[in-house]
Structure 1
Amino acid sequence: MHDHAPGVRGADNRRLLATSLAITTVVMIVQVVGSILSGSLALLADAAHMFTDAAALVIALVASVVASRPANERRTFGYQRAEVFGALTNAVILVVLSVWVAVEGILRLLHPAEAQVAGGTMLLVAVVGLFANAVSMWLLSAAQRHSINVRGAYLEVLGDLIGSALVIIAAAVILLTGWAPADALASLAIAVMIVPRAISLLREVVSVLSEAAPQGVHVQEIREHLLNTPGVTAVHDVHVWQLTRGAPVFTAHVVVAAEVLADGQAGRVLAQLQGCLAAHFDVDHSTFQLEPAGHSDHDAHV
């Protein structure tokens, strides 16, 4: 018996991603213009990051649309993994971006005479970016807890917000002291900031694609809960993985007492087992194979 998970939370996620994309695109254009007018490398780096975010949000939107497609006979779990591939693309983009920003920042430090920055324009544009990124983060904050794809976009916006804060600090230093290398240092700080986020997202993507148990899920704890179900004598061949963030899948072989099968109580036991998983572990898609004592059909690798 199977308990099928509900469809991807696509409609709400797409609306949030589209709104965030619109905000990101507008701010990116403002930052590019501001960078040209002020000569700020930090603003240009932040604009490049925003461009990357816009591309990432487009990818996220496309992945969300694809993921909302229903399951069919060829893809029996549907297209939810599209979210994971979208997140993987985002992570790769982050790595490339960090390398580019680092190289440009070092070149600016090596040639400080070329760094002529208008601190006032730089500060104004950075403040606009900070406000816009804060709004985008607020929009995505709830959905990112349940979708790895939206989480990738959320992390991108978080990086932009911190980047805008760094640009504001650099602009303030330039305005107060005239020290132009502060702009290049802010660019390097943005590059360093990007790397841990990219690694974190890549780690989560690898965990999903390798079908590891979701973080925080302990198989032994689940087994003990299932064993407390009346009529269950053993639980083996347990497998837990996730299609994407917030979509765990569970399978297990469950040995039951002879009277359970003889008295037609299998349906009751199945309902209790699935209810246990849904209530205690937030697992909505579960498959159980009920077996009489002495049954030897175990997975070969266990």
Structure 2
Amino acid sequence: MHDRSGRGKGRTPKIPAEPHANNERRMGFAALITGLFMFAEAAGGIAAGSLALLADAGHMLTDFASLSLAWFGFRLSRRPADWKRTYGFDRFQVLIAFANGLALFAIGAWIVYEAVERLMTIPQVSGGIMVVIAVLGLLVNVAAFFLLQGADRENLNVRGALVHVLGDLLGSVAALAAGAVILLTGWTPIDPLLSLLVAAIIVKSGWQVVAASGHILLEGAPGELDTRAIGPDLIAHVKGVQGVHHVHVWSITQSRRMVTLHADIGVGTDQGRVVKDIKARLAERFALDHATVEVECGECADAQPAKAKA
């Protein structure tokens, strides 16, 4: 069996240090400004009697926790691998993204519950306070959004944080719109109705993050890669390969993909050359930089032994 650790001549699957540091720095700033404004928005929501503002403040509270966790995930993933965690700590980012997605479900459920209760009553809402706080919140959320836009948007941890911030941004827009309608018409049901719209968007975004991170945690193959094509491609393009089986592809994070496979080669074939050619083809055609290849001549060593005859 031949293995490539990613430290030799081949390309390394590790994320470059500079983009990783950029992600961490931007996540930290986004968490800081979100946490600072959260208190102002909660106070404004209480003063205005606005569910839209309170819902957005509650979302910002979870955003602050989520962004802080995401920042911690980047910090933790810098730790080197050890004998207990041979792949290192990179997947902690995916675990945080999964938890953040679940948190979005809880936020959406709370907003729906509060909105339904508000629709059954006639709340007193101050449109003027709503508009002022919503404008400030919108500016803060836009700043946080652009901070994260400059990070690696393919990183699932960043994507999860972006969904949280985008939900906050939409919440601020909804609160601003509701405040304007109340100021112009006095129609207060617009406040919980727009909150329901924001809740639907939050839940939809949360599902996307949970599905993507859960797929990685379940060792699923990358969505854009058809594992059924690997065997035929290697047989067609790597001289000496007669069969490929036991193909397993999974991800540590989106940028760290792993593959293991068995390759059946002809007797007398140069095994070292075949392994190098297989790894080169996997990297070139399927962007799989970390490959473990077991070479076989004849029967597979993992084949089920025949049952002894009675």
TM-score, normalisation: structure 1: 0.89
Equivalent-residue separation in structure 1 for 2:202 and 2:289 (angstroms): 35
Equivalent-residue separation in structure 2 for 1:67 and 1:167 (angstroms): 37
Q: What is residue 296 of structure 1 aligned with on the other side?
A: 300
Identical aligned residues as a percent: 38
Q: What is residue 267 of structure 1 aligned with on the other side?
A: 272
Unaligned 5+ segments in structure 2 are 7-11, 305-310
For residues 202-250 of structure 1, the C-alpha deviation after alignment (integer angstroms, 9 at most, x for no partner) is: 2223212221111111012222332211222221110001112222111
* 1:231–1:150 distance in 2 versus 1, CA, 3 Å: same
For residues 92-122 of structure 1, the C-alpha deviation after alignment (integer angstroms, 9 at most, x for no partner) is: 221221121111111211121xx22221221
* 1:299–1:82 distance in 2 versus 1, CA, 3 Å: farther
Equivalent-residue separation in structure 2 for 1:132 and 1:214 (angstroms): 35
Q: What is residue 267 of structure 2 aligned with on the other side?
A: 258
Unaligned 5+ segments in structure 1 are none
What pairs up with 1:8-87 in 2 under 5 angstroms? 8=15, 10-87=20-97
Residues 1:154 and 2:158 aligned together: no
Equivalent-residue separation in structure 1 for 2:172 and 2:287 (angstroms): 37
Contact 1:237 1:299 in 2 (8 A): no
Q: Comparing 32-41 with 181-190, which one deviates more in the overlay? A: 32-41
Q: May I ask how many residue pairs the two structures share in their alignment? A: 293
Contact 1:29 1:47 in 2 (8 A): yes
Equivalent-residue separation in structure 2 for 1:94 and 1:151 (angstroms): 13
Which of 2, 5, 8 pairs up with 2:4?
2
Please state how far the C-alpha of 1:251 moved relative to its aligned partner.
0.7
Residues 1:117 and 2:125 aligned together: yes
For residues 185-207 of structure 1, the C-alpha deviation after alignment (integer angstroms, 9 at most, x for no partner) is: 12222222221122222222321
Please state how far the C-alpha of 1:79 moved relative to its aligned partner.
1.5
Q: What is residue 286 of structure 2 aligned with on the other side?
A: 281
What pairs up with 1:244-255 in 2 under 5 angstroms? 244-255=253-264
Equivalent-residue separation in structure 2 for 1:211 and 1:194 (angstroms): 26
Equivalent-residue separation in structure 2 for 1:129 and 1:135 (angstroms): 10
Q: What is residue 145 of structure 1 aligned with on the other side?
A: 153
Helix, strand or coil at the partner of 2:299? coil
Which of 118, 123, 126 pairs up with 1:108?
118
Q: What is residue 307 of structure 2 aligned with on the other side?
A: none
Q: What is residue 208 of structure 1 aligned with on the other side?
A: 216
Q: What is residue 136 of structure 1 aligned with on the other side?
A: 144
Helix, strand or coil at the partner of 1:260? coil
Contact 2:27 2:71 in 1 (8 A): yes
Name the one with the larger helix percent.
1
AA partner of residue 287 (structure 2): D
Contact 2:115 2:192 in 1 (8 A): yes
Contact 1:2 1:287 in 2 (8 A): yes
For residues 16-72 of structure 1, the C-alpha deviation after alignment (integer angstroms, 9 at most, x for no partner) is: 210111221233233123223322210111011011100001111222222222111
* 1:271–1:141 distance in 2 versus 1, CA, 3 Å: farther
AA partner of residue 137 (structure 1): F
AA partner of residue 174 (structure 2): L
**CA root-mean-square deviation:** 2.0
* 1:296–1:204 distance in 2 versus 1, CA, 3 Å: same
TM-score, normalisation: structure 2: 0.87
AA partner of residue 276 (structure 1): R
Please state how far the C-alpha of 1:299 moved relative to its aligned partner.
5.9
For residues 133-156 of structure 1, the C-alpha deviation after alignment (integer angstroms, 9 at most, x for no partner) is: 223223323545332222111111
Which of 205, 225, 245 pairs up with 1:217?
225
Equivalent-residue separation in structure 2 for 1:213 and 1:93 (angstroms): 25
Equivalent-residue separation in structure 2 for 1:30 and 1:156 (angstroms): 18
